[in-house]
Amino acid sequence: MKDIFTNKFTDQVSLTHDHLVPQIFTYLKDHEKEIEGSAYHIIESARNYNSFNAFEKLMHEYDLSSSEGIVLMCLAEALLRIPDNKTINDLIEDKIPKGQWKNHIKNENNIFVNISSIAFLMTGKILKQDDLKTTDIFMSVLKNISTPVLRSVIKQSINILAKQFIFEKDIKRASKLSLKLEDSIYAYSFDKLSEGARTYQDSNKYFENYKNAITFIGETSSQKKHSISIKLSALHPRYERNKIELLRKELLPKLFEIIELAKNVNVDICFDAEEADRLNISLILLNYILDSNIIDNDYSGLGIAVQAYQQRSIFVLEWLDTKLNIVNKKMNVRLVKGAYWDTEIKLAQEKGLENYPVFTKKFITDLSYLKCAHILEGSNNIFPQFATHNAFTIAYVQKLFENKPHEFQKLHGMGDEIYNHFKNTNNFSCRVYAPVGGYNDLLPYLVRRLLENGANTSFIHQLNKKNINSEALHRSPLSKLHKIDQNQIYKPQNIFPDRKNSIGVDLTEEENIEIFSNLQNIDNINATSVINGVDKITSITADIFSPYDINKIIGQACYADEKIINEAIDSLSLYSKEWKNSSLDKRIKIVNQFANLLESNYHLLVSCCVKEAGKTIHDSIADIREAIDFCRYYAVEAKKIFIEQHLPGPTGEKNIYQLKAKGLTCVISPWNFPIAIFVGQLIAALVCGNVTIAKPAEQTSYLSYVIFKLLLKAGLPQNAAALILGRGEKIGPKIFTNQNLQNVVFTGSLETAKIIQKQLHARDDLINFIAETGGLNCLIADSSALTEHVVEDVINSAFNSAGQRCSACRILCIEENVYEKTLSMLKGAVDTLKVSSPELISTDIGPVIDHKAKEKITNHINSFAKKYQTSSTNNHQGYFVNPTIIEINNLTDVKEEIFGPVLHVLSYSSKNLIELCIQIDSLNYGLTLGIHSRIDRVIDTVIKNTNVGNTYINRNIVGAVVGSQPFGGHHKSGTGPKAGGPEYLKKFCYEYSVSNNIVAMGGNVDLLSNVTD
Ligand SMILES: Cc1cc2nc3c(=O)[nH]c(=O)nc-3n(C[C@H](O)[C@H](O)[C@H](O)COP(=O)(O)OP(=O)(O)OC[C@H]3O[C@@H](n4cnc5c(N)ncnc54)[C@H](O)[C@@H]3O)c2cc1C
């Protein structure tokens, strides 16, 4: 499997030239004309096919690049799952007016599209009734219909759209229908509609459904051999690579049970292919299955889907063929191109991966598919199933396999026009992927199909475009090879125009898993303050230990005394002018070098962060990435703000405006982001030219010491910054009273921020204080939101980092009509969270930082009666708190920010939405806010009636990205400016204005020499 694991991010250009092109090129030399000819006939026949397919007609009319297409998509995604009429009406009123429906009403014999369009139009009240004269008889029917009826017509239209993709509601009806269609060229693979399970309850339900479906299909007598498609993520709520041990224990036995059953009733099954991050897990599980005896000579009906758009697809097939040879077994492979392309691109950019796991050129995906077909053709162990609607792909495969058994596959509701061409072809077999289930389960599937039909590059989409001629569509993908370097999608590291994106670590990949499962030994460590590059030893020491292993001391921190603090201030003050006037380019170079050093020391930093701060490996990596982004972002911003500006004025005068460093700055950072915030504050101060005292939280003294040493290694002059370790309450007052101090930057609790503010007020000058504190952050979810999506984002926002983020979701406000459903799924999802040592990649929640924190959180939990807490236990001695959900009746039940894995939930009525916003506002915090809704009016109402720094719509509310989501709040949440935003650096500078009367030195030369007569 090594080739599979190492080729996830291969260079697509060399892979194409070295591995894909040669065999296809050779094959086409002899067969190109014939294949292109066949493809041309398929296309022509498809274009002449009179489809009765309502969906195709609607998609034809409403292109996804039009606003009406988008509206239709939004309605399709949400309308059918909304439980109440009011929200349905709100959604329709919100979306329909956004389209130009009138243009879609035509005199063509296209009743469904016309009725839908008129319904959309009238509901939107865009048009006066008179305007509808131009439309024919439909108008006379619809003219007098009331709005509620029209709404029901819209619902019906969307229903028809959805129905297009559902074969039948349940497996019995599906089987009955397939028997009726027995004469057609089609066999069926029934897909029990199911998306990724979020809870054990859901996964158990899907497990039973799959087993029932297999049994039923096995018992039904049919001339055709129908099969069942299975989504593995539906069978376990944590189908993730980092949960492989759990999956081996809990999922593998279920798979064995399913295969055993399928074998007994002689039904083929196929595991669907999902996101690229899940490929390794499915192959690891498959490997176990193949090594067992469950598949034998009597059963070759197990299959997997392989996605040709993944760079590794050819290696997957080569491995599988070799493996099957070794174990002497046979299997099916469904070759698909892949359905999650846009998601893969987005995820890779978000994670800063080294490259994309999928090709970024459509024609390379096509080539890869053909190359995979060649590998399958060479295999005697794999029965190939070609799932495609693309005419050239079909023609190529048909030629390649003219003497070898194979089958084609298509999706129910799509590609009828293509496969109709073969209805009289002998020995042509095609299997239909036939979703079975209710509308509720359909929606994510439906959205994928709409995207597939609407995407510009999609073959089916192009087939439906009258302006694309058949010649353009039937050509071999090799004809596009010259475009291989054109219009590349930027690699994830280059998505920002003026700086590199921080590189991430893909923890779904085997090599990284191996590396980060073995953290560096952090024992016998010593941390000290550092002044002038020298470690300062004192007699004030504190033990260092991991919050998840509190009985073991791993080192000592040496805290600064008064003498050391004074020495730091004196040394920095002495160097202040020089550093302020140093070249900006030099400072930027140091900052960028430092960023690169952080990037090349991932393993060390993760090890320290996990062991000292108790952060999980995932969270530690995110912390480092943010720090790197801060460096690169501030380096770019510094270039922008330090430009000398010439301001306009009367002639004879030169007016200059510029920013310069303030001077001695003290930055005080917290333990919860011991890398990102420590680095962000320090670098912001330094890049502007401020000599800086860095005072990190005492809980993460060693980590700051390690980072500070990297900064010196990057070339920072030794007396430009000092690291001062120690207890805040002891160190702070000694610094805050110093007259040289110009600026204080703090991130931490509101309580401490107020103490610092008070101390600064006692000075006889006025110095700037930047504080970023916590929040009582709410997330509002209405009934138009997708519950699975809400739950996923809330779990992420409330419990990641053990809830120790100032941006974390503290209160979830759920609309009353989906309250019970959401709460129940939330509890189920919380049950799947693993609370354990952060050294384990499989851990979701590590410890909280210390005894005091644990005590405060526990006391808070104990003061509520209606709560749900998971009961997981682990063997580690530490400050663990199990994730807890507390039901509250009023927002005011939560008095203060609780910094831990605790989520409060509240039910609200949609008629009180504004009231809810006002209450959120009156909590007087203003950091983050989440809204989950498909209705723009709801989103606008919430935004207008709340006052928070960072609002997130239909996503989680944590993990603000530097430069993309500048972070920081108001009121009790902080003073601003936002970290990682365009105003931040300016607060580290004073403004200077210099006005020069240039006439004083000999007259107004400029004026006199520039005027003409
Ligand atoms: C029976 C059946 C079962 C299926 N099961 C699965 C499954 O288990 N898992 C799954 O993921 N999909 C599955 N699919 C969906 C399948 O991936 C799509 O239907 C398929 O990609 C469409 O391919 P095509 O040859 O019909 O269309 P084409 O239009 O020729 O190709 C579309 C493909 O090109 C890719 N593409 C688009 N733009 C680019 C670009 N810029 N760079 C690179 N590639 C690009 C798309 O992502 C898509 O994969 C299944 C389809 C069928 C018919």
State residue 105's pLDDT score. 61
Q: Which residues, including other chains, have CB under 8 Å from residue 45's CB and lie 6 or more apart?
A: 417, 420, 421
Question: What does the alpha-carbon distance between residue 433 and residue 228 come to, in Å, rounded to a whole number?
Answer: 9
Q: Quick: pLDDT tens for 192-234.
A: 766 789 999 999 999 999 999 999 988 877 777 888 999 999 9
Average pLDDT, the chain: 90
**287: CB partners within 8 A, 6+ apart:** 1, 323
> Which residue among 558, 608, 778, 806 is the active-site one?
806
Distance CA 397, CA 381 (A): 18
697 close to 671: Cβ distance less than 8 angstroms: yes
Whether 772 is a known active-site residue: answer: yes
Does residue 383 contact residue 405 with C-beta atoms inside 8 Å? Answer: yes
Q: Amino acid letter at 518?
A: N
> Which residue among 336, 445, 474 is best mutated to probe the pocket of ligand 1, counting the most ligand atoms within 8 A of its Cβ?
336
Of 523, 598, 584, give the one whose Cα is nearest residue 554: 523
Q: Examine the pLDDT at 764 and tell me if it is beyond 70.
A: yes
Q: Which of 240, 275, 626, 772 is catalytic?
A: 772
Other Cβ atoms within 10 Å of 883 Cβ, number: 25
- Phi then psi for 330, rounded to 5 degrees? -125, 150
Q: Which residues line ligand 1 (CB under 6 A)?
A: 272-273, 305, 307, 309, 334, 336-341, 359-362, 365, 387-390, 393, 409-411, 433, 452, 457-459
- The pLDDT tens digits for 304-350 are 999 999 999 999 999 999 999 999 999 999 999 999 999 999 999 99
Rounded Cα distance between 8 and 276, Å, is 9
- For 564-618, how does the pLDDT look when each residue is reduced to its tens digit (9 = 90+)? 999 999 999 999 999 999 999 999 999 999 999 999 999 999 999 999 999 999 9
* Average pLDDT for 760-769: 94
Q: What's the pLDDT tens digit per position in 919-957?
A: 999 999 999 999 999 999 999 999 999 999 999 999 999
Q: Can you read off the two tokens belonging to residue 867?
A: 């709560």
Percent of the chain with pLDDT over 90: 73
348 CA to centre of ligand 1 in angstroms: 19
Distance 305 CA to ligand 1 centre (A): 11
Dump pLDDT digits (tens) for 842-892.
999 999 999 999 999 999 999 999 999 998 777 788 999 999 999 999 999
The predicted pLDDT at position 51 comes to 66
User: How far is 207 from 185, CA to CA, in rounded Å?
Assistant: 30
pLDDT reported for residue 388: 97
Q: Ligand 1 test: best mutation among 188, 193, 279, 362, most atoms within 8 Å of CB?
A: 362
pLDDT band at 133 (very low <50, low <70, confident <90, very high): very low
3-state DSSP assignment of residue 496: coil
Ramachandran angles phi, psi of 402, nearest 5°: -65, -25
How many residues in the chain? 1013
Give the relative orientation of helices 562-580 and 728-736 as an angle to the nearest 10 degrees. 50
* pLDDT beyond 70 at 812: yes
Q: Is the pLDDT of residue 820 over 50?
A: yes
**CB-CB contact of 634 with 985 (8 Å):** yes
- Choose the most confident range, by mean pLDDT, from 81-90, 320-329, 469-478: 320-329
**Helix, strand or coil, per DSSP, at residue 610:** helix
The enclosing H or E element of 621 equals: helix 617-641
Note the pLDDT of residue 1002: 73
623: pLDDT strictly greater than 60: yes
Residue 315 phi, psi dihedral angles, 5° rounding: -70, -35
Q: What is the pLDDT of residue 615?
A: 98
How far is CA 306 from each of CA 208, 309, 312, 412, 894, rounded to the nearest angstrom?
25, 9, 10, 19, 50
How far apart CA 672 and CA 804 sit, in angstroms, is 6
Cα–Cα distance, 979 to 927 (Å, whole number):
12
Q: 971: phi > 0 → left, psi -120 to 50 → alpha, else beta; which? A: left
Q: Are 256 and 288 in contact (CB under 8 A)?
A: no
**Is there a catalytic annotation at residue 240?**
no
Render pLDDT for 949-960 as a digit per residue (tens, 0 to 9): 999 999 999 999
pLDDT tens figures, 662-690: 999 999 999 999 999 999 999 999 999 99
Q: Is residue 772 a contact partner of residue 979, using CB atoms and an 8 Å limit?
A: yes
Distance 340 CA to ligand 1 centre (A): 8
**Atom 53 in ligand 1: which residue has the minimum CA distance?**
410
Longest CA–CA separation in the chain, Å? 107
Contact by Cβ (8 Å): 274, 309? no
Which atom from ligand 1 is nearest to the alpha carbon of 336?
17
Distance, CA 389 to ligand 1 centroid (Å)?
A: 9
Sheet with 541-546: list strands edge to edge.
Answer: 525-527, 549-558, 541-546
Q: What is the DSSP letter of 420?
A: G
Which residues have a Cβ under 8 Å from the Cβ of 704 and sit 6 or more positions away?
A: 527, 669, 674, 678, 694, 696, 723, 725
Supply the pLDDT for residue 182: 66
Nearest-CA residue for atom 17 of ligand 1: 338
Atom index in ligand 1 nearest the CA of residue 459 equals 29
Instruction: Check: CB of residue 994 under 8 Å from CB of residue 656.
Output: yes
Query: Which residue would you say has higher pLDDT here, 388 or 115?
Result: 388
CA of 339 to the centre of ligand 1 (A): 5
Decide if 300 contacts 354 (C-beta within 8 A). no
At 95-111, the pLDDT tens digits run 776 666 666 666 555 55
Q: How many other C-beta atoms can be found within 10 angstroms of the C-beta atom of residue 804?
A: 24
Amino acid 127: pLDDT:
34
Cα(509) to centroid(ligand 1), Å: 24
Question: For residue 361, which atom of ligand 1 is closest to its CA?
Answer: 42
